[in-house]
Amino acid sequence: MSKPAIPAVRTGQIELDRALSAMKETLDAITGQARNVQRMEPLTDSATLSQVVARVNQLVERLQ
């Protein structure tokens, strides 16, 4: 199921546009909507602890 994309930000106020655009880029990267970020597939019910740890590390990387 595809999530709706966040629309482009254009308020007419340069500083506000920059801040909102940065937030949009971050959210797009976290949700996998950004073009340069590969979507993460859900882990299976039988995922091992090492697979879960690896996935948490991927999420932390995206948040930084």
- Which tokens go with 2? 């595809």
Q: What does the pLDDT look like over 6-56, one tens digit per residue?
A: 777 788 899 999 999 888 888 887 777 777 777 788 999 999 999 999 999
pLDDT at 38: 77
Question: What does the alpha-carbon distance between residue 24 and residue 9 come to, in Å, rounded to a whole number?
Answer: 8
Domain ranges of the chain: 14-63
Alpha-carbon distance values, 27 to 12, 15, 48, 49 (Å):
21, 19, 28, 27
Question: What does the alpha-carbon distance between residue 25 and residue 51 come to, in Å, rounded to a whole number?
Answer: 27
pLDDT at 13: 92
Tell me the whole-structure pTM to 2 decimals: 0.56
Is 1 a residue whose pLDDT tops 70?
Answer: no
